Amino acid sequence: MSVARRFAALAIVALLARPAKAQSVLDQQQQTAVPFFSNTQFWTAQTFKTSASNVSGAGFYLTNFSGSAQVHTIDLWSGNPSGGGTKLASGTVSVPYSGPVPASGYPGYWYDVFWAPVSVTTGQTYWLTIGSTGTQTVTWLGAGIDPYADGMAWYNYSSVETSSYTDFADYDLTFRTYTDENSVVPEPSSWTLIAAGIVGVFGVSRRRRRGT
């Protein structure tokens, strides 16, 4: 085997052997939003069932009428925070002032947080909670009010995350979750190795055809 071909083979082996980067992709999503559900100064929650083996982030659709940016905390729980659930992951995001309500409708936007992927059991129910420092930041309901079949909205009427939650079985929040499962892509350095190997093979082939 020529040196160039050996190099190309080694490049491919290196690609297979190297750890690959993972990119978060949507898993669960209740996309369409209708105003409003609850003030996020108090803890609001949404239950869901993952279809992947990990959760790498989550987001809610929010509107901030408080007049200034507010820090929101989104947490992932194994179960009811007031009923023995364990906090699995947490992230914060700053939600800027959305502005006054325009005549054309209420402004709302997606806000996401990401964390190191947390292993979960596919098809099991998990909890997302959200709370903030703003008294006029609100979460939105899903269109049709209850279109998400694998969970429901919850509210605990308290600024303490682990206080008792009341279920709103006929409602869902506009939320989404992320996973890095099935989104593995090669690192740029791995592609460089492959490209170098291919170039080497082409170079040898051209020289042979020219008889040099």
Residues 145-155 have a mean pLDDT of 90
The Cα 60–Cα 173 span in angstroms is 8
Q: In whole angstroms, give the CA distance from residue 74 to residue 154.
A: 14
Domain range 22-185, CATH architecture: Sandwich (2.60)
Q: List, for residues 106-144, the tens digit of each pLDDT value.
A: 889 999 999 999 999 999 999 999 999 888 899 999 877
The CA-atom distances, in angstroms, between 155 and each of 41, 62, 82, 179, 211 are: 11, 16, 12, 25, 78
pLDDT tens column, 38-51: 999 999 999 999 99
The 10s digit of each residue's pLDDT in 159-192 is 999 999 999 999 999 999 999 986 544 445 544 5
Q: So where are the chain's domains?
A: 3-20+187-210, 22-185
Give the separation between CA 35 and CA 176, rounded to whole angstroms: 17
Does the global pTM surpass 0.85? no
- Residue 208 reports pLDDT greater than 90: no
- Measured torsion, CA atoms of residues 71, 171, 148, 35, in degrees rounded to the nearest 10: -50
pLDDT recorded at residue 55: 98
